[in-house]
C-alpha cells in the first residue's frame, strides 16, 4: 500500500508492445493487482499479433507515432530469436536506432508463467524442458503446449491459469534472481524495478 502520500503522486503509465492475447491477459491481470494494492502503475498492452521482428517493429512505430511522449516497452519471447526464425535475430541485431532493445522472455511465455509457481512445480517443468533440450534448441509451441496444459491444468492461449497476487509475484522475483534457474524474463526485471519499495 502506498498510504496517504499516493494522492500526491501521478500514476505511471507504460505502453507495452507485446506478441498477442496471452501477454495482454497477463497485463490486464497485473493491472488488477495494482488497483487492489493501490500501486500507481499501469501497463497498456498493444499486441503486434506475433513475435516476428517485422511485426513488432511495425507495431512499435505505429504506437510511437500515436504516443510521442509515452514510455513504450517491447516484450516478446526469445525462442524464435534464438532459433533465428525468419532471420529475426539477424534483423534484431541490425535494428534501426528508433527501435528500443526488446524485453525477452527466455524462452517463451509459458516458461515465464511457470516462474510464478512454487519451486517444486517449476522444477517439474524445468525437468521436462531439459529432457527436450529446450535451452539449446527451443521448442515450438506445437511441441510443448499439450504437455504444458497437462502440467498446469486448465489453460489456453490468452488466459492466465492462476491469480496474480503477492505470493505469485514473490515466486517470480525469487526465481528471477536465482541464477540456477534458466527461465528468465527481462519484463520481470523492469516490473520489479518499477515496483521498488511497493513490493
Reading the chain (199 residues) residue by residue, the pLDDT tens digits are: 444 444 557 999 999 999 999 999 999 999 999 999 999 999 999 999 999 999 999 999 999 999 999 999 999 999 999 999 999 999 999 999 999 999 999 999 999 999 999 999 999 999 999 999 999 999 999 999 999 999 999 899 888 999 999 999 999 999 999 999 999 999 999 999 999 877 7
What is the span of the domain harbouring residue 136? 4-198
Residue 7 has a pLDDT of 53
Interacting residues of 152 by C-beta distance below 8 A, sequence separation 6+: 113, 114, 117, 161
Residue 8 has a pLDDT of 58
Residue 32 has a pLDDT of 98
Q: Is the pTM of this model over 0.75?
A: yes
Residue 3 has a pLDDT of 45
Cell of 67: 504516443
User: Total domain count for the chain?
Assistant: 1
Amino acid at each position: 500500500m502506498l498510504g496517504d502520500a499516493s494522492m500526491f503522486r501521478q500514476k505511471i503509465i507504460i505502453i507495452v508492445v507485446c506478441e498477442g492475447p496471452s501477454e495482454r491477459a497477463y497485463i490486464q491481470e497485473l493491472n488488477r493487482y495494482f488497483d487492489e494494492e493501490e500501486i500507481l502503475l499501469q501497463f497498456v498492452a498493444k499486441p503486434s499479433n506475433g513475435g516476428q521482428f517485422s511485426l513488432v517493429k511495425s507495431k512499435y512505430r505505429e504506437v510511437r507515432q500515436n504516443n510521442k511522449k509515452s514510455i513504450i516497452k517491447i516484450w516478446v519471447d526469445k525462442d524464435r530469436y534464438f532459433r533465428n526464425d525468419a532471420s529475426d535475430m539477424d534483423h534484431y541485431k541490425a535494428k534501426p536506432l528508433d527501435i528500443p532493445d526488446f524485453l525477452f522472455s527466455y524462452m517463451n511465455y509459458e516458461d515465464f508463467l511457470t516462474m510464478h509457481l512454487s519451486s517444486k512445480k517449476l522444477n517439474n517443468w524445468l525437468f521436462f524442458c531439459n529432457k527436450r533440450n529446450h535451452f539449446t534448441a527451443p521448442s515450438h509451441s506445437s511441441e510443448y503446449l499439450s504437455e504444458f496444459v497437462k502440467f498446469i491444468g486448465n489453460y489456453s492461449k490468452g488466459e492466465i491459469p492462476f491469480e496474480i497476487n503477492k505470493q505469485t509475484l514473490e515466486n517470480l522475483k525469487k526465481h528471477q534472481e536465482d541464477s540456477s534457474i534458466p527461465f528468465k524474463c527481462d519484463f520481470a526485471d523492469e516490473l520489479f524495478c518499477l515496483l521498488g519499495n511497493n513490493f
